[in-house]
Amino acid sequence: WSGPGMRAALCVAFLANLTAFPLTNGLLPYVARDIFHTDQTGLGYLSASFAVGSLIGSITLSMAGGVRIARLLIGATLAWYAMLLVFVELRTMPVAMACLVLAGIAQSMSMISAAVMLMRNASAHLRGRVMGVRMMVIYGLPLGLLAAGSLIDLIGYTATGTLLAAAGFIAMLAIAVHWRADLWPVHAPANAR
């Protein structure tokens, strides 16, 4: 807990589970059926689009060298939320699939960056514990799903998706500003190459 870069990475991971993953995972069956009026095949295409984007992002990041990880974490997470803001407004399946590919790329780069920051900054004897705490932030997902499911009934899908993505975008900006001295400078430990 003494490493600000590690706290920031854990906050981003919790935030993503709370506000982003409900839109791209949990609510996708609802979106396929009620927004795009498609069946299981359409749902498969939507899910596969996000997964293909994630694969592209992972491969791209593994081939890139000298990346400033903390800066990538900020940029990729903001891009992910921006793509989600666009996605919730779309009503055309092929365009939505393309948007999900881009969201998947950003998601992969964001979550990999968070994991790299945690592993780089943790002492060797604490890495297992740190990653255990990282795995526990997934408990933001059920909270986000419960909130999203309730909000869809009250205000509709588009408003719910916009609220989740905008809240995530704003919270990510707050994280970036709060830990800016530890995340943004090139010489910061979180940006070590």
Write the pLDDT tens digit of every residue in 111-145: 999 888 888 776 777 777 778 777 788 899 999 99
What's the CATH code of the domain at 127? Answer: 1.20.1250.20
Instruction: Give the C-alpha distances (Å, rounded to integers) separating 127 from 4, 14, 119, 123.
Output: 16, 18, 6, 6
In percent, the amount of the chain with pLDDT more than 90 equals: 69
Instruction: Give pLDDT tens digits for 52-85.
Output: 999 999 999 999 878 898 899 999 999 999 999 9
The answer to whether 115 and 70 have CB atoms below 8 angstroms apart is: no
Domains identified in the chain, total number: 1
Helix %, strand %, coil % of the chain (to 5): 85, 0, 15
- Please give the Cα distance from 109 to 73 (Å, whole number): 7
Domain hosting 36: range is 4-191
